Structure 1
Amino acid sequence: EQARIYAGALAETAVQDNNGQQTINPDLAQPLLYSLTEPTPSAQALIYGPDGELIANSRVHPGAGGAIVTEPLAPPPPTGLFSRVVGFVYDHLLGSVAGREDESDLIGSGAGQQQPDTLGWQPDARTVLQMTGSSAGASFQEAPPFVRRDSQGVLLITVAEPIAHGQQIVGTVLLTREASEVDAAVLAIRISILILFALALALTVIVSFYLSRTIARPLSRLAAAAERMREGRAGAQTLPKPITTRNDEIGTLARTLEGTSQALWSRMDAIEKFAADVAHEIKNPLSSIRSAVETLTRVEDPARASRLLAIVTQDVGRLDRLITDISDSSRLDSELSRSRYEIVDMARVLATLTEIHDATRKEGSPFMELEAPAAGLLVRGSEVRLVQVLRNLIGNAISFSPPNAKIWLRGKETGGMIELAVEDEGPGIPDGKLDSIFDRFYSERPQNEQFGSHSGLGLSISRQIVEAHQGRISAENRRDEAGHVIGARFVIRVPKAGG
């Protein structure tokens, strides 16, 4: 655009009629060209005639002692240390790149041209004619600019614009200027990119350090704790408190791992206690059998020998019953974990148990009354195991009830829970034993019942089943208005299905 303005001004001012031929007057063109380029010290303008002859140069001024050639001053160096360092590195790299470029490679100028490396480069007549198409009989075609760098790496741009007066091309103006503002803009962009890269790198380092402190290190400590658990070198408390108190996913994982560890150690303690209890319970009938057998070898009285054999038979039956209940109790948890729970209507179960009792009731046995809705007591669980719990509680109630007494089966919904109760009119539960009766091998039987007919695992198994259904089982005494014990009550609470 600047070259087009120059060409227009020269066509209007510096063209004269020379014997009917329009030509450029050098005396008019030189000062005008100087005036046009004076506001832009980094620019140089050259005027060529149609034959490629140089007519005027904006850097050459006539003087008393001859022509004076002017050169632009170098721009002042950057004042800031950072700017000077970046500018030096940028110029050095740019100069190295420019020095390595092929001299015949002109951006937008066509191949085969020698690349100029100074601002004062003057093309020959052939180059000018090729750039402008201003040779005789040729029409002007806009030529692409020369884009090059000098030996210092400064970007130079040269454009050609014809000087047309009327319909006649009388010359060409060739404008060359330093595009330092382009380099400055590119440098500013690259500095901005460099700063952003440095900030991104610093942010990445900070985030990596933060993540290593908040994620990687706690996870390593969790892994070390798990390794200690695997090797058996840690107890139930294996994780540092700062990790378990975190309010994030790692804290949740740590608390879950700690809960798993505590459950594992609790299970190991329970297995150890169970093994000790089993050994103790099995040892009693075995001791009785051994004593009876040893005595039998020395007894000659057939009546006493018969009684000893009866004792051995009873102890063997007791041992068989004990082993059966122990086996059932030991595999109960695994069976419940593999069982597929279904919706069970406990109202229907209570009604069925009542009907079975009424149909099989013997003379003198307790009567059974049902107080429950006809349907709607829905729970999710194993019907077989829930029936086992109720039959066990009903069996205990029958054992402790006096002749022709009553047993109540009650069922209702309360607070999102299904509550089932078995009540009797027996002697109740001894004070201080309301929780102990659910312990393994605990036995509190009626005086008229034969010793060894129960293993003491019934209520313990019932509690295992109820707790596997996310419920609770408890025992309490029924009392009259005067506070006297009039029976026992066992209460089962399990979550309502869908509640």
Structure 2
Amino acid sequence: MPEAPLLKPEDGSPVQEHRRRWVSPLLRRILLVNALPPALLAAALLYLDQYQNGLMAAEVEAMRNQARIYAGAIAEAAVRVQDDRAVLVPEQARPLLRRLVEPSPNTQARLFDTAGLVVADSRVREGVGGAVVTEPLPAPASRGALSSSLSGAYEWMLNLVPNRSANPVVLDTTPDAQSFDWQPDLGPERQAELRLALEGGVTPYIRRTPDGRLLVSVAEPARRGAQAVGIVLLTREAREVDERLFEIRASVLGLFCLALVLTVAVSLYLARTIATPILQLAGAAAEMRQGKGRTGSVPSALLERRDEIGVLARDLQAAARALWARIDANERFAADVAHELKNPLTSVRSAIETLRRVEDKAQQHRLLSIIANDAVRMDRLIGDISDSSRVDAELSRSIAEPVDIGPILAVLVELHNTTRKPRDPEMILEAPDKLVAMGVEDRVVQVIRNLLGNAISFSPEEGHVWLRARETATEVELTVEDEGPGIPDARLEGIFDRFYSERPSGERFGQHSGLGLSISRQIIEGLRGRISAENRRDAEGKVLGARFVVRLPRG
């Protein structure tokens, strides 16, 4: 699949396109995450079911007590006894009922006889000339423009809140719910319910009128002794319930608006401190991809931050530098490979050209021997180069596991001592039987074999090579020591360079490619370990041989 270009000719880079957006996706997510909890809390508080039920229950209980008082007063003062029966006297009940209701301007009381007929109504009185006048309920106090706007917004939000009320009384919100004016003659269903009041009262009737008023009605029987003489129906506009709920919900909405403003401010701050730096890092990555900013294109302000963004910026800068270092190393490696291959190829070409002109059989045989040796040398060199190139890729795919290298060391030492020639160096092992380190077994064995082979090649005849191993607090330490001439002090680090080769004087040229120690360091550092070289010295400072130290993480 072809890779998408980083820059669009008509629109600019994706980073610049992202910056031109009014609201970034990250800012939208931050706003959503920050605003959702207070919104859910505000929505939950808007229900206020328990509080509303408590207010309604208190209102109903107060009206029941008031209706009982009215019923008791009427039963005592507006009833006459005739033939041992208590009879309701309407002429006495009407003025008494109006006087009882006078302290409660938002209340209407109606008195029914036992047959369900209206006997008295606190809102109906005789006017001039005997005309019947019906007094309306006082209108609710008018609110200001701001309160009206808040009330409108409040009602709109209430319509959005699902109704999950669990009121102990029935709330009738149908459009044809009885208006208070208020109540014309009750229908058959209500009359039947009122007649139930003669046996002890009915369920309170709570309704919402089309103009938004909340009305509560209760019925209580008026009794003279054990005989029911009538029914008192008390209806009141529960303004305080609505007003208290409105005040609390307005407070909740006000707090939510304040929380929303703070949430937006915090979200903008987070977006400025998170989204903008991320865009800057994306721009720096884009410049690195285009080959710019070789010395580092991450803004210094991001590198100085002490939070996660600063960690990301420093890691990106370190990754970029490591990438450029790897590119430079590959360039040097390619140049070194070309140089190392050029020498044997030049030798082969010269030998072939000379071979064409020489007719002496001995010289021809010698030239053919040179060509063969150079071919073997190039084959060995190419193999080592291939192995060095595979090490990084293989270690990046491999996972370090606990490796018990104690048996491995014992096998290598026993194999050498069993197969060595009479005058070859003897190998001595000083290590515990169990020694666990983190690594890749095949590559660890390769490093040990390289170091042992190197030590054997530099050791004198009938000399000794020591292989020691021990555990420290966090590492496993391997030491390979020989009795050879040692390493020049100036080359203690240089011997790990690619193609560096400093062989014993008697060894034939071309037997080693100079990549063994370089590959060993490459493997050990890939396993998060360390390898170093030093000289063994006696008390007077004389060099006794070389020492290579390998440290791997403890398993």
TM-score in terms of structure 1 length = 0.81
Q: What does the per-residue CA deviation read over 1:418-448, in whole Å, with 9 as the maximum and x for residues that have no partner?
A: 2222222222211211000010000112222
Whether 1:454 aligns to 2:539 is: no
CA distance in 2: counterparts of 1:39 and 1:260, whole angstroms: 85
Q: Secondary structure of 2:491's partner?
A: coil
Q: Which position in structure 1 is the counterpart of 2:383? A: 324
Is residue 93 of structure 2 the alignment partner of residue 41 of structure 1?
A: no
Question: What residue ranges of structure 1 are gaps of 5+ in the alignment?
Answer: 95-106
Partner in structure 2 of residue 99 of structure 1: none
Alignment of 1:155-304 (within 5 A): 155-195=214-254, 197-199=256-258, 201-202=260-261, 204-206=263-265, 208-230=267-289, 232-233=291-292, 235=294, 237-243=296-302, 251-304=310-363
1:61, distance to aligned residue in structure 2 (A): 6.2
Seen in structure 2, the aligned counterparts of structure 1 residues 23 and 273 have a Cα distance that, compared at 3 Å, is same
Deviation readout 1:296-329 (Å, 9 max, x if unpaired): 3333444444433333232222222211221222
Q: State how far apart, in whole Å, the 1-side matches of 2:343 and 2:153 are.
A: 96
Q: Secondary structure at the match of 1:488?
A: strand
- CA contact 2:467–2:481 (8 Å) conserved in 1: yes
Residue 481 of structure 1: aligned partner: 539
1:405 corresponds, among 463, 466, 481, to 463
> Which residue does 1:380 correspond to in 2?
438
Counterparts of 1:49 and 1:143 in 2: how far apart (Å)?
Answer: 16
C-alpha RMSD over aligned residues: 3.8
Secondary structure class of the residue paired with 1:268: helix
Distance in 1 separating the partners of 2:155 and 2:415: 103
Matches within 5 A, 1:429-440: 429-440=487-498
In structure 2, what is the Cα distance between the partners aligned to 1:380 and 1:120?
Answer: 91
What one-letter code is carried by the residue in structure 2 that aligns with 1:391?
A: R
User: Which residue type is aligned with residue 459 of structure 1?
Assistant: L
Distance 1:50 1:388, change over 3 A: closer
Cα contact 2:87–2:229 (8 A) shared by 1: yes
Q: Are residue 311 (structure 1) and residue 370 (structure 2) matched?
A: yes
Partner AA of 2:503 in structure 1: R
Distance in 1 (CA, whole Å) between partners of 2:226 and 2:471 is 108
Residue 331 of structure 1 deviates from its aligned partner by: 1.5
- In structure 2, distance between residues paired with 1:234 and 1:265: 10
Aligned partner of 2:530 among 472, 476, 479: 472
Of 443, 449, 452, the residue aligned with 1:391 is 449
Cα gap change, 1:69 to 1:254, in 2 (>3 Å): same
Say whether 1:428 aligns with 2:486.
yes
Residue deviations 1:389-421 (CA, integer Å, cap 9, x gap): 233223322333333333322222233322222
Residue deviations 1:83-104 (CA, integer Å, cap 9, x gap): 354247669999xxxxxxxxxx
| Letter paired with 2:414 | E
Higher mean displacement: 13-22 or 279-288: 13-22
Instruction: Indicate conservation of the 8 Å contact 2:173/2:207, yes or no.
Output: no
Alignment partner of 1:445 is 2:503: yes
TM-score, normalised to structure 2, is 0.74
Q: How many residues align?
A: 479
**8 Å contact kept, 1:118–1:151:** no
Distance 2:366 2:286 in 1: 59
CA deviation profile, 1:429-476 (whole Å, cap 9, x unmatched): 112110000100001122222222221111112212222332211111
Contact 2:424 2:461 in 1 (8 A): yes
Contact 1:236–1:258, Cα closer than 8 Å, also in 2:
no
Trace 1:101-180 onto structure 2 (pairs within 5 A): 116-123=178-185, 129-133=191-195, 140=199, 142-144=201-203, 147-148=206-207, 152-180=211-239
CA 1:451–1:92 in 2, change beyond 3 Å: closer, same or farther?
Answer: closer
Report how far residue 171 of structure 1 moved: 2.8
Compared CA separation, residues 53 and 319, structure 1 to 2 (3 A):
closer
Q: Could you tell me how far 1:150 is from its partner in structure 2?
A: 5.7
After superposition, give the CA deviation of every residue in 1:160-179 in whole Å (9 maximum; x if it has no partner).
43323234333333323222
Answer yes or no: is the 8 Å Cα contact 1:43–1:178 preserved in 2: yes
**Aligned residue type for 1:175:** L
Q: Distance in 2 between matches of 1:460 and 1:159?
A: 99
* Equivalent residue letter for 2:99: S
Give yes or no for contact 1:442–1:456 (8 Å, CA) kept in 2.
yes
Are residues 40 and 459 of structure 1, via their aligned partners in 2, closer, same or farther at CA, if it must alter by over 3 Å? same
Q: Which residue does the alignment assign to 1:25?
A: 89
Moved more, 116-125 or 302-311: 116-125
- The 8 Å contact of residues 132 and 162 in structure 1, kept in 2 or not, is answered as no
Equivalents in 2 of 1:128, 1:421: separation in Å? 105
Indicate if the aligned counterparts of 1:365 and 1:403 stay in contact, CA closer than 8 A: yes
Whether the aligned pair in 2 keeps the contact of 1:109 and 1:145 (CA below 8 Å) is no
Change (3 A) 1:18 1:62: farther
SS in structure 2 of the partner of residue 442 of structure 1: coil
Q: 1:185 and 1:459, CA in 2 relative to 1: closer, same or farther beyond 3 A?
A: same
How far is 1:47 from its partner? 2.8
Quickly say closer, same or farther: Cα 1:458–1:53, change in 2 above 3 A: closer
Which range moved further: 430-439 or 238-247? 238-247
- Report the Cα distance in structure 2 between the residues aligned to 1:128 and 1:436, rounded to whole angstroms: 108
Deviation at 1:197, TM superposition (A): 4.6
Larger Rg: 1
User: 1:329, 1:461 within 8 Å by CA — same for their partners in 2?
Assistant: yes
- Between the aligned partners of 1:496 and 1:108, the Cα distance in structure 2 is 76
Question: Which residue is equivalent to 2:6?
Answer: none
Q: State the AA in 1 paired with 2:98.
A: Y
| Aligned-partner Cα distance in 2 for 1:324–1:69 | 115
Q: C-alpha separation between the residues in 1 aligned to 2:154 and 2:506? A: 108
**Larger helix proportion, structure 1 or 2?**
2
Q: Which amino acid in the other structure matches residue 254 of structure 2?
A: I
Per-residue deviation, 1:50: 4.3
Residue 245 and residue 131 in structure 1: after superposition, are their counterparts in 2 closer, same or farther (change >3 A)?
A: same
Cα 1:29/1:393, change in 2 over 3 Å: same
Aligned partners of 2:499 and 2:515 also within 8 Å: yes
Cα distance in 2 for residues equivalent to 1:155 and 1:31: 27
Aligned to 1:483, the other structure's residue is in SS state: coil
Distance 1:317 1:10 in 2: 130
| Percentage identity across paired residues of the two chains | 52
Is residue 7 of structure 1 aligned with residue 71 of structure 2? yes
Map Cα deviations across residues 475-496 of structure 1 (whole Å, 9 max, x no partner).
1112222222232211122222
Structure 2: distance between partners of 1:331 and 1:4 = 100
2:436–2:554: 8 Å Cα contact kept in structure 1? Answer: yes
Q: 1:93 to 1:161 in 2, by over 3 A?
A: farther
The whole-number CA distance in structure 1 between the counterparts of 2:336 and 2:92 is 125
Q: In 2, are the aligned partners of 1:358 and 1:367 still within 8 Å (CA)?
A: yes
- Matched letter for residue 482 of structure 1: E
**What secondary structure, in the 3-state scheme, does the structure 1 residue paired with 2:552 have?**
strand
